[in-house]
């Protein structure tokens, strides 16, 4: 064996002597400093590490954010990542309007859509803590210009704020499509009664209050009216006073329609084909349910306040006890104004949003100080947001958002031709072949490749979905069953 070079030996001795002289804490700190990634490194890895809902075993699945924006025809995206109880980084991508040159930044305003609900619920709970409202009394006792129409369902059980905020009040009207520029905008009372110019049905109780969970933007609009009438203040000004101002959400407003002076900082909405929404965005007089304009950074501030308030470390709007109540399951997997899930260190709160031309999502852990917000200005932005969340989750070691792994079978592409056609699966589903590959196009959606698990079973990667084709005794394809990740299945017939 060759002799060790004396100079190298001396260097090694000095290094070992230095490390031995350090305290255990110093040694650990030294090691951590060598391995801990910088924020810039994490950003780059998130941007280049997007993953689909399903990955194929033994295949590289990561994609870049900019490529996926092009794929989904989403012009602009804003991302804010929460780590250690603070916004670790926030960044905008793309442009506010297709074909334009105004870049999306961390301060670009998007329509939060249904993420308006948890922020509004925080304001409602603040009024409860002030003694102006009560969670469990009949809302009709305080409503003035309009009251929930009584009927057989409200005889024994009443509509309350707790039930409104947890979507268990038995009220109708799931969501709203808003009003394009130039269209007349109804008052809140017109909305609730479904009277012109309202483009949605009347909000009514049609199941026993408290008997089931059923999402109701109509119910949140009742909450909006109650808050405004109880305080005598317009809802946007009230929310600025109760929540937005206190949390430093400086680029947020419930004003509808958005004032012209603020549109320069706003993203414009786009359809799934990349074209602008008529008038660039819709107005939502259903402000508490869908009307918040905000940024990913401001929504992250909201999430951080919820985390810290629950821990008793910051109670700018709500007490610790009220925040705990907000995050407690009230009906199904829903707290007061927000979805809740997980247990222990994996306990989380979340909400998605879908307005005309805008899709966004907020997810955060109640205990660990982690979370993220993704906002997009495209109708297919929901799928893009999911891919971004998977990348963030992998980078930051979250237990959620892990993709499903599937094995792809080797199948003769000639088999694909038998499946080409149109299927009626609660809407028109088109199966086609292009360049030897099989594609699925759901109602109103884009075209995505189907990968074979066998000669009759195929799967998507963009979402956790399988499709199994059925044949008759002669081998002719007669239909297909679509299986979703949650176990739900829909059967359909081949019609063409």
pTM of the model: 0.87
**Two tokens, residue 53:** 């809902």
Selection from 381, 312, 351, 358 nearest residue 119 by Cα = 351
With b meaning 16 or more CB within 10 Å and e meaning fewer, what string describes 338-363?
bbbbbeeeeebbbbbbbbbbbbbbbb
Three-state SS annotation for 31-74? HHHHHCCCHHHHHHHHHHCECCCEEECCCCCCECHHHHHHHHCC
Q: Is the peptide bond before 360 cis (omega within 30 degrees of 0)?
A: no
pLDDT of residue 34: 53
- How do the pLDDT tens digits run along the chain, 496 residues long? 444 443 333 333 333 333 334 444 444 444 444 578 999 999 999 999 999 999 999 887 899 999 999 999 999 999 999 999 999 999 999 999 999 999 999 999 999 999 999 999 999 999 999 999 999 999 999 999 999 999 999 999 999 999 999 999 999 999 999 999 889 999 999 999 999 999 999 999 999 999 999 999 999 999 999 999 999 999 999 999 999 999 999 999 999 999 999 999 999 999 999 999 999 999 999 999 999 999 999 999 999 999 999 999 999 999 999 999 999 999 999 999 999 999 999 999 999 999 999 999 999 999 999 999 999 999 999 999 999 999 999 999 999 999 999 999 999 999 999 999 999 998 899 999 999 999 999 887 778 999 999 999 999 998 899 999 999 999 999 999 999 887 889 999 999 8
User: Thinking of the domain 72-404, which architecture would CATH place it in?
Assistant: 3-Layer(aba) Sandwich (3.40)
Residues 6+ apart with CB under 8 A from 82: 88, 300, 303, 304, 307, 364, 369, 370, 371, 372, 373
Q: How far is it, in rounded angstroms, from Cα 336 to Cα 339? A: 8
Question: What are the backbone dihedrals phi and psi of residue 208, each rounded to the nearest 5 degrees, phi first?
Answer: -60, 125
Distances in Å between the alpha carbon of 89 and those of 190, 269, 392? Answer: 42, 24, 12
**Two tokens, residue 399:** 């237990």
Specify the residue for token string 């619920």: 121
Q: How far is it, in rounded angstroms, from Cα 374 to Cα 177? A: 21
- Asked if residues 222 and 145 have their Cβ atoms less than 8 Å apart, the reply is no
DSSP letter at 243 equals I
**Two tokens, residue 189:** 């009372």
Distances in Å between the alpha carbon of 251 and those of 113, 243, 298, 299, 351? Answer: 15, 13, 7, 10, 20
Residues 6+ apart with CB under 8 A from 245: none
For residue 137, the SS3 value is coil
Question: What are the backbone dihedrals phi and psi of residue 185, each rounded to the nearest 5 degrees, phi first?
Answer: -110, 125
With b meaning 16 or more CB within 10 Å and e meaning fewer, what string describes 173-187?
bebbebbeeeeebbe
**Two tokens, residue 63:** 């994609």
- Asked if residues 179 and 283 have their Cβ atoms less than 8 Å apart, the reply is yes
For residue 194, the SS3 value is coil
CATH topology of domain 408-494: Lipocalin (2.40.128)
Element counts in the chain: helices (H) and strands (E)? 13, 18
pLDDT of residue 346: 96
Instruction: Spell out the domain ranges in the chain.
Output: 72-404, 408-494
Q: How far is it, in rounded angstroms, from Cα 358 to Cα 302? A: 20
* Kind plus residue range of the DSSP H or E element containing 453: none
pLDDT of residue 35: 76
Sign of CA dihedral 86, 92, 97, 100: positive
Q: How far is it, in rounded angstroms, from Cα 330 to Cα 126? A: 18
């Amino acid at each position: 064996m060759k002799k060790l070079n004396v100079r190298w030996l001396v260097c090694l001795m000095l290094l070992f002597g230095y490390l031995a002289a350090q305290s255990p804490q110093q040694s650990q700190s030294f090691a951590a400093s060598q391995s801990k990634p910088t924020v810039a490194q994490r950003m780059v890895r998130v941007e280049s590490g997007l993953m689909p809902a399903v990955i194929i075993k033994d295949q590289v699945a990561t994609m870049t954010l900019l490529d996926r924006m092009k794929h989904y025809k989403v012009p602009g995206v804003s991302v804010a990542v929460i780590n250690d109880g603070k916004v670790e980084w926030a960044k905008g991508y793309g442009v506010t309007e297709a074909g334009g040159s105004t870049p999306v930044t961390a301060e670009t305003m998007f329509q939060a859509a249904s993420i308006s609900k948890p922020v509004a619920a925080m304001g409602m709970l603040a009024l409860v803590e002030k003694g102006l409202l009560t969670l469990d009394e009949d809302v009709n006792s305080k409503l003035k210009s309009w009251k929930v129409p009584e009927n057989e369902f409200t005889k024994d059980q009443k509509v309350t704020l707790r039930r409104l905020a947890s979507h268990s009040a038995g009220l109708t009207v799931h969501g709203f499509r808003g009003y394009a520029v130039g269209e007349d905008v109804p008052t809140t009372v017109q909305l609730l009664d479904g009277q012109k110019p309202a483009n949605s049905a009347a909000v009514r109780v049609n199941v026993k209050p408290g008997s089931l969970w059923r999402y109701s933007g109509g119910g949140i609009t009742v909450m909006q009216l109650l808050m405004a009438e109880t305080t005598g203040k317009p809802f946007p000004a009230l929310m600025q006073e109760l929540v937005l101002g206190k949390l430093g959400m400086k680029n947020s407003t419930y004003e509808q329609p958005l004032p012209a002076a603020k549109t320069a900082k706003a993203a414009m909405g786009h359809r799934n084909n990349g074209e602008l929404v008529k008038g660039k965005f819709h107005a939502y007089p259903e402000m508490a349910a869908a009307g918040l304009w905000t940024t990913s950074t401001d929504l992250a501030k909201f999430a951080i306040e919820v985390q810290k308030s629950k821990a008793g470390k910051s109670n700018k709007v709500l007490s610790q006890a009220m925040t705990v109540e907000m995050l407690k399951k009230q009906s199904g997997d829903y707290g007061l104004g927000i979805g809740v899930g997980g247990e222990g260190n994996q306990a989380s709160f979340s909400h998605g949003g879908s307005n005309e031309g805008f899709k966004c999502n907020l997810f955060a852990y109640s205990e660990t100080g982690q979370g993220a917000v993704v906002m997009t200005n495209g109708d297919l932005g929901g799928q893009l947001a999911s891919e971004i969340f998977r990348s963030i989750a992998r980078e930051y070691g979250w237990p959620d958002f892990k993709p499903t792994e599937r094995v792809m079978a080797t199948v003769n592409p000639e088999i694909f031709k038998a499946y080409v056609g149109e299927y009626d699966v609660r809407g028109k589903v088109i199966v086609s072949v292009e360049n030897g590959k099989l594609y699925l196009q759901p109602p109103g959606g884009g075209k995505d490749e189907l990968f074979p698990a066998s000669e009759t079973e195929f799967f998507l990667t963009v979402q956790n979905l399988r499709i199994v084709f059925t044949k008759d005794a002669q081998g002719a394809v007669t239909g297909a069953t679509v299986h979703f990740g949650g176990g739900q299945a829909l059967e359909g017939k081949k019609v063409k």
